[in-house]
Amino acid sequence: MDLRNVISVTQLNSYIRKLFWQDDFLRQVFIQGEIANLRDYQGHLYFTLKDEKSSVRAVMWRSNRMRMSFVPKEGMQVIVAGSVSVYERDGVYQVYATYMEPAGLGALYAQLEELKAKLEKEGLFATERKRPLPMFPRKIGLVTSIRGAAIKDIVSVGRRRYPGVRFVVADSKVQGEGAEVEIAAGIKLLNQVPDVDVIIVGRGGGSQEDLFVFNHELVARAIYSSRVPVVSAVGHERDVTIADLVADVRAATPSAAAELVVPNARELQTKVGRLVQRAYGSLALEIRNSRARLQGLSSRPCLQRPDWFLVSAGETLIRLKQQLIDAMKFISSAGDEVLDLKQALAHAMDFFLSANRQRFGSLALKLETLSPLSVLSRGYSVARSVPDMRIIRSYADVSEGDQVLVNLYKGSLVCRVEETTGEEVPSSSEFKARN
């Protein structure tokens, strides 16, 4: 025996580990077996893969486990992909799994992808054909098992949110052989029930095998042919079934579907109350503004005494006619002097008319000057307090926060006083500096 060739246990295990690693076949293997001795430690999975004659230890680290789309269970047949290596501390070899799927589902997934491509090409997944949910559904159809938890969740949440809502149930299997036929028949049946506004199709959570019925073409085409919107509530977060893709709306769980479909009565009452308050406030403000405009118009001189100008003009016309009559009387009494006075009368009439025309023009100009509209057209305004409509002549007539109606040349403004001052009106630059 040559003692120079003696090695430690660690060196032996390390050497064997290198041999495993150098083998291309062992660096990427696919193994089918049954899960046994399954243990979860801090997110890492430790288990044994076995068949009728042998077994091998296996481990899957947490980073790889997080990518799995199902929950592995004791006794489940699976296909594992990974590498084979030696655990040096114990001197045993084991499989380091990087991927796992239930055995027998690989072919089903391939068929599923083919069906998805076919239905997508036919337009069953098109976004533009999806319909919005009714805002206030009167009757909701349910396609699910009356013995499952999904129906209890939907009815409980729905009646809590809106006590008056009604449900119509089409009892059907939601897993196993023939389930797709019953689900499709339930959808068609509820489409024939009067006043059904929306249909919820689904079940609670389950394994991939349990949920696979919602990937069936028969269910997809029944949802597509529905005359009312359909909500899918299959009860799974990670994977999307074909039923989810065809349905008008997808809900993660049956409870979430009920919240999407059934309105919240308390929220509606609060929203309606706020709208009523806003409507009353807007109406009251419009009434106040209209009343203020009416009072402002009624206080104008032309509406206080609309006949003033006509009376003034009438009196002037009467005086002219009286003077003309006096002149005619004078002409009649003059006798033979009429011819001599005719020319003088013509001159007098011209002078009289010219003088009165000038006087009339002067009065009209003065009237225009005194007109409130003329004053307003030059940029002035009239401020009145609200609601008593008193004319404001001093800053002391109002206080901060008071409402003021300002009559302009065109229209009026309803303003609120923010500041009063007895100082002179500042220039624009001073005003900007102050503010």
The verdict on 127 and 242 lying in the same domain is: yes
Maximal C-alpha separation, the chain: 184
Tell me how crowded residue 432 is: count the other CB atoms within 10 A of its CB.
Answer: 9
With cut-offs at 50, 70 and 90, classify the pLDDT of residue 304.
low
How far are the Cα atoms of 105, 207, 208 from residue 112, in angstroms, in the given order? 10, 16, 13
Domain's final residue, options 342, 370, 398: 370
Question: Structural domain of residue 400, as residue ranges?
Answer: 382-434
Report if pTM > 0.85: no
The whole-number average pLDDT for the span 251-272 is: 87
Return the pLDDT at 48: 94
Return the pLDDT at 140: 94
Domain presence at residue 165: yes
* Concatenated DSSP letters of 377-403: HTT--EEEETTT--B--SGGG--TT-E
**28 phi and psi angles, rounded to 5 deg:** -150, 100
Domain presence at residue 312: yes
Return the pLDDT at 130: 93
- Assess whether pLDDT exceeds 80 at residue 9: yes
Return the pLDDT at 330: 62
233: closest CA among 142, 158, 314?
142
Return the pLDDT at 20: 83
- Assess whether pLDDT exceeds 70 at residue 280: yes
Torsion of CA 135, 139, 145, 151, to 10 degrees: 60
User: Percent of the chain beyond pLDDT 90?
Assistant: 31
Report DSSP state, residue 332: H
Domain presence at residue 63: yes
Return the pLDDT at 200: 95
Q: Over the chain, what is the mean pLDDT?
A: 82
Domain presence at residue 342: yes
Domain's final residue, options 45, 69, 103: 103
The verdict on 228 and 151 lying in the same domain is: yes
The verdict on 50 and 172 lying in the same domain is: no
Task: Decide: helix, strand or coil at residue 263.
Answer: coil
**Rounded Cα distance, 422 and 399, in Å:** 12
Domain presence at residue 2: no
Return the pLDDT at 232: 93
Q: Tell me the sheet residues that pair with 171.
A: 144
Domain's final residue, options 59, 88, 103: 103
Amino acid letter, 4? R
Return the pLDDT at 344: 64
- Assess whether pLDDT exceeds 70 at residue 335: no
Domain CATH number, residue 119: 3.40.50.261
The verdict on 120 and 243 lying in the same domain is: yes
The verdict on 113 and 81 lying in the same domain is: no
Return the pLDDT at 26: 87
Return the pLDDT at 120: 92
Lowest mean pLDDT among 32-46, 74-88, 160-174, 336-350: 336-350
Q: Which two tokens mark 159?
A: 């009646």
User: Per-residue pLDDT tens for 79-131?
Assistant: 899 999 998 888 889 999 999 888 776 666 767 888 889 999 999 999 999 99
Lowest mean pLDDT among 199-208, 243-252, 314-323: 314-323
How far are the Cα atoms of 321, 333, 342, 352 from residue 328, in angstroms, in the given order? 11, 9, 11, 14
- Assess whether pLDDT exceeds 70 at residue 317: no
The verdict on 254 and 135 lying in the same domain is: yes
Q: How many domains does the chain have?
A: 4
Domain presence at residue 273: no
Which of the pair, 364 or 82, is modelled with greater confidence? 82
Lowest mean pLDDT among 52-66, 293-307, 373-387: 293-307
Place of tokens 């997110």: 43
Place of tokens 């090695």: 7
Q: Does residue 420 contact residue 412 with C-beta atoms inside 8 Å?
A: no
Which of the pair, 208 or 228, is modelled with greater confidence? 228
The verdict on 313 and 175 lying in the same domain is: no
Domain presence at residue 280: no
Element (H, E) at 37: strand 29-41
The verdict on 55 and 146 lying in the same domain is: no
The verdict on 206 and 140 lying in the same domain is: yes
The whole-number average pLDDT for the span 314-333 is: 65
Domain presence at residue 14: yes
Q: Which two tokens mark 413?
A: 């403004």
> Which one of 167-171, 235-239, 330-334, 337-341 scores highest in mean pLDDT?
167-171
List strands edge to edge, sheet with 230-233.
Answer: 166-171, 139-144, 198-202, 230-233, 249-250
Return the pLDDT at 269: 80
The verdict on 212 and 89 lying in the same domain is: no
Return the pLDDT at 396: 85
Domain CATH number, residue 27: 2.40.50.140
The verdict on 113 and 70 lying in the same domain is: no
The verdict on 36 and 146 lying in the same domain is: no
How far are the Cα atoms of 95, 214, 310, 366 from residue 359, in angstroms, in the given order? 121, 100, 16, 10
Return the pLDDT at 176: 81
The whole-number average pLDDT for the span 291-301 is: 78
Q: Which two tokens mark 264?
A: 């919240």
